[in-house]
Every structure is written in C-alpha cells, then in structure tokens.
A and B are shown apart, each in its own frame.
Chain A
C-alpha cells in the first residue's frame, strides 16, 4: 500500500478552453496557490540573488534595493569562514547520525509491534507522543533535563556515587548531544510509524513459508523483511534527512549556537549572521549556496521518484 502516491493514475482530460483570452479553467485553479508561493518563495529567492552580491546591512542608511554591489566577495569570505564551513559539516554530521540512530531504533521498535497483544494500542499512542508535541516545547523539556541541576546529571550522580553537575549546554563538544537527543527523541516515532506501516502491509505468506522452511528470525528479517521494506525506508530516510537538514528550533532553544558557534548548524549560523550580526548580504550569499544545492538535489531526486512512482 506504500506505492502509487507519487503517480497520478489520471485519465488526462483536456479542459474546455473558453475563448482565446480567457485563462484556461485548470490554470485558474492553481493561481491562488501559485501566487502565494510566488510572493513568499520565488520573489524572495530573486532578492537573495541580489542581496548575495551586496554587503547590505539593515543598519546602513540606504534601503536594500539601493545597496552597493561588492560582487563575489561574500562567496570568497564564506569559503574561508571556518564558522560557516564548520556549520555545514556539523549539519551533515547531525543529519547522518540522527537518521542512522532513528532508523535503527525505529526498526527495532517496529519489530516489537508486529503481533497483537492486549495493550498494544495504548503502547503505540505513548510511543508516538514525542512527535505530537511542539518542537520548541520538546527542546524546552530537554533544556531542563540537561540542566546542571537537572535529572540527567542526578541520574549520573546516583550511578557514579558522587555529585555530578556537568554543564552540558555550555560545553563546546558535548552541547551538541542534548540537541541531537532532542531531535532523535522527537522524530524516532515518525520513523517508527512509517516502518510499522510498511511491516504490517508486508505479504505474510512469504514470511510464513520461510518460517515453515525453518529459517531463523534473523535471516527472515535481513533476507525477506528488509528488502521488502526498502521503499518505505527510502521514503522515511529521505523525508527525515530533508527535515533534519533544516534543524533550527532545538538549537535555538538549547544553545543558540553557543558556545562560540560550537553548536551552529546551517540554519543557526544564518540566523546568527543575519539577526545577531546583521550581515544580510553575507547571509544571503550563504542562503544562495544552500538554495542551489537543495534545488539541484530536488531536481535530481524528482526523476527517480517519478519513475519509481
């Protein structure tokens, strides 16, 4: 049941065009949506193109459309800006690590939920609770959990038998951990739901046949279930990667990229650069790079997705 959403089994039907000057009916239907996207996405993208070659800052006396172009210096500076480069690398690391952990946890969890038992529904409802709450609130909860005087440090104290008041969020290396845990905690449930949906719609007779033939559960999992689950897993990984790449809310709430930019992801770097240091032109150049990369990936992906459909 996982297939077939990306295609449209349409019986294409040409709309009746009402005269030469009238907008065809089918085009008129997409105008409101298209117009909104124009104003909020397309026009701003064009403005990015302009701002990226200027050094404009809101504190300057001239409005942005009269800014002085400095051409490609922003890109030159970005290339040598270790904070930007590190933010990019850090974001890629966060995406890879979070998605890998989420996927493993989700697969393991989903396997526990194949058969039916008395309180299964309740268990599902509790397990997916994290994805229901507002990301800012989830981050808020982790902010309190990882406080110097929070329950995590308390548990560690109890385990090692002496007081432990580590300040997670102001440590250059370890501050990333609560951020990633918040992300993993919140979105493993989505991965779990996707995998579970895939698992429950697997053809059961293949698995039964394998059981009858004496295959071990491990073998069944790796040789039958996993290959059949591949399309669902691909979609789950793709969607979660895109969303994790944008990660902002937990970073803002937990550290704001501090200490000293050590927890900046791409989004947090651009926020700080635009709204803390007011370097709009510079930020636009960074945004342009990200946009070009993301849009190329979109175009590259849209082909196999459609074929797969």
Chain B
C-alpha cells in the first residue's frame, strides 16, 4: 500500500476530518451553549455561534446570588436544587473520588500482588472481581439502599466511597496485576537473596518500577469515580451531592429549559476528567480492557 494516488490520500484525510467534526460537534455545542445569553438558549433558528458571549451561565452555576438575581429577572422561580451553588458538588465529588481512588488502588495493589506472586485463590479468583464489573450496578442498588439505611450510610461520604471502592476494584486489581506481571520475578528474588522479606522486596524493588502504572491506574479510577452517576443518584438525598448529580439536576429543573446553565455545568464538570484522560491516554486501552490489551 505504498503507492497511493493523491486522490486516495485526499479522500482518506477528508474522512479523518469528517470523523473529527462528528467527534467534536456535541462538545462544541455544549461549550457554545454555555456562553449564550438567556434569550438565545432556545431560539429558533438555533444560534450556532453567539454574537454576545457571556459568562452569566457560569456565574449562575457558581454564585447563588447570581442564580437568585437571574430567577427574579427571567424565570420567576428556579428549582431549589438549582439555586444552590455548584461549589458544594465539586467539593463533594473531589473528596469522594479522591478517597475512593486511594482505597481502591491501595487494596487493589495488595490483592494484585498476592494474586500474581502467590496465585492466591487459584486461577478463578481474579474472575470473581471481574464479575463485580460485569453485573449491572442497578441489580444491587436496591439491596444496597436497604443495607445502607440499616447501617446509617445513606447520604454520607463514606457510603459512596465504599460503593465506589468496590466497583472500581476490578479495574485496579486487573490493571495493576498486568503491571506487576511485567516485572520479572528474578528482581525480587535478587533482593531476597540480600536478606529482604518477600513483601519488603516487593515494596522496595517492584513497587518503584511500576510507580507510573499505579499512578495511571489511580487517575483512571479517579475518572470513573468522578463520572459515576447511578450510585450517587440513589445513595444520596441532598446532603451529599456530586457533580454528575448537579448536572442531572440542571437538566431536570424547569423541565430542562435551562440550556445555558446546564451547558455551563456540563462543560466545567467534565474538564478535570478530560485533562486526566489525556495524561493517561497511553494507558486508557489497558485500563478499559482490564489489562487485556496493552500497547
């Protein structure tokens, strides 16, 4: 396929450009809408690129004062959920996602090490964790709600952290397992010859070698936690609120007519995960396939 006509190359590149347009357009629309003033949100014909860009939507998202002023001027009344500030959602999401990520990666590293070096539980054991990821979370959501209300974990940080840790463990165990697999056993053996215990050998020899992999796993799991919606929806009732919940609140508020505001919240909430996503782009494939496909 070395000899290609110029026409063929041009066609191929145009197809790539077309794919880029399709990939980017919904995101463009989100950002473009977030900058539109109120009267352009639902205008017909729709405004493709506003002539009067404004940051008002972002102010409504972050400052309750701006939200109230807006409500008084335009809408009459805003949903009570919407009039609250999004800072709380960002703060809660940051706390929950970070702690759940630390738990998941720490527990996952220990378990992965045990599975790789000791074959703990036999060959079937790691699949038990995969099953967690295969089952639809909705199937256990009802009993979790029942159990958490019994344990007084509903609507708490810890409840969500627990749920997120469990449901990201399959990723951390399988991903870190694939990283540990790449470190030759002999390196640890050499350290043990020098008198280190096996676990010390793991900590001082293998762990530093897979540091990059563990960091990638952590960012990957943070993205999953930050994006999670179903558990946040059913396990909270107002005291704890995540960014995804806040987005859903804007969409459902006033029968979904707050386009500008929901676009602003959507744009700003997804920025951190896009940033992290590109940092670990190299590892995304490995992560999303539980370490089955490496590059």
Contact = CB atoms under 8 A, between A and B. Distances in A.
A38 B59 CA distance: 44
A137 B30 contact: yes
B247 A136 contact: yes
B84 interface: no
Interface stretch (A74-82, A96-104, A138-146): A138-146
Interface stretch (B18-26, B75-83, B207-215): B18-26
B117 A10 contact: yes
Contacts of B85: none
A309 to B, nearest CB: 9
B279 to A, nearest CB: 11
Interface string B168-186: 0100011001100100010
Given A45-B143, A253-B251, A11 B185 contact: yes
Given A8-B116, A40-B167, A41-B166, A47 B30 contact: no
A265 to B, nearest CB: 9
B266 A298 contact: no
Main secondary structure of the interface of B (DSSP, over half): helix
B140 to A, nearest CB: 4
B259 A33 contact: no
A154 to B, nearest CB: 5
A172 B121 CA distance: 49
A39 interface: yes
Interface residues on B, range: 35 or more
Contacts of B143: 43-48, 51, 284, 287
A302 B48 contact: no
B196 interface: no
Interface string B239-283: 000011001100100001001001100110110011001100100
Interface of B: 1-2, 12-13, 15-16, 19-20, 22-24, 26-27, 29-30, 33, 42-46, 48, 103, 106-108, 110-111, 113-121, 123-125, 127-147, 150, 162-163, 165-167, 169, 173-174, 177-178, 181, 185, 198-199, 226-227, 229-230, 233-234, 243-244, 247-248, 251, 256, 259, 262-263, 266-267, 269-270, 273-274, 277-278, 281, 284-285, 288-295
